[in-house]
Amino acid sequence: SPVYLVGEKGGDPPARITGGERCITGLSVARLTGDIAFTATDPTSPAEVYIADPDGTNERLVTDLNREWSAAVAPSPPERFSYRVDNNDIDGWIMKPFDFDPGKRYPAPLWIHGGPHREFGYYYSHEFQVDAGAGYVLIYTNPRGSQGYGEAFSRACVGDWGGGDFRDIMAGVDEALRRYPFIDPARLGVIGISYGGYLTNWTITHTNRFKAACSEGSICNIHTQFGTSDIGHIWDVAESGGRLPWDDPVWYSEHSPLTHVRNVETPLLLIHAEDDLRCPIDQAEQFFVALKKLRKDVTFVRFPGESHTFSALGRPRHRLERHRIILDWFGKNLAQ
């Protein structure tokens, strides 16, 4: 996310004044001088404050808030790769574990972002660093629906949840396995939050390639999401391509992981916040009950007093417990 300088009356094209493989997360411009102050992060550094001249030159670091943390840890940098699906160029990354040994084979969770119109990029992810520090290779991609690649690509999943987006993430796994022989194909995991949780649920109802899964704040039944989510009556219609549940119940059913729940063979950890208004907790309850009725391997963890974003903004003790639960789950299921 660079910063561009745009003329007040147009004319000259926008000029990029900050760059690098990093993400600008906040920006302020001095009214009198035009100097800019911004916060920036990269995959191995949490955000700090910088200032620069109006044209982006003479950039200097103002804060060093993470000095002690930086001295105590060895973060892992990502490695980008690309692949092609249905005439789309897709970005993917892997992140190697701490103390990486190229002679070993490592378990690898596939991380799926939320949105669906969000994106992975060059910003610091505590989530990824925790997983890499625990000895995993991470795989993550920007399937169709992701932002940052133009409107057509971002809208390409609308009306097609579980279609092209699913093909993109699976092709990303195949490409990572082709490029990186240190990834153990027999020890793959899959994890995601919100829409990422939906696509995790969808994935394990459509393939048994993953040895363990973790679905957080997820959706399993798009039909019942309508009218119960704080944005469901708007969001579901937009994401379904304008369909209403009573006009096209077949679409809502066919695109819901719950409809295909009999296919699940992958051990699943469901994590959900009890005060989640975006993806209400009954979504996890429905999937959990169905899997228990089918005698599948499923564990359900509820976090009281937390909302949809608790993994990033919740109580510290809950966030720590969440990490422990997830690492224990993948540790148990991907160990061998």
Rounded CA-CA distance 36/38 in Å is 7
Q: Which residues are catalytic?
A: 194, 308
Q: Looking at this protein, which amino acid is placed at residue 174? A: D
Rounded CA-CA distance 20/9 in Å is 28
Beta carbons within 10 angstroms of residue 178's beta carbon: 11
Give the H or E element holding residue 226. Answer: none
Beta carbons within 10 angstroms of residue 61's beta carbon: 10
Beta carbons within 10 angstroms of residue 190's beta carbon: 28
Token representation of residue 267: 């051990």
Token representation of residue 184: 């153990």
Q: Would you call 87 helix, strand, or coil by DSSP?
A: coil
Rounded CA-CA distance 307/280 in Å is 9
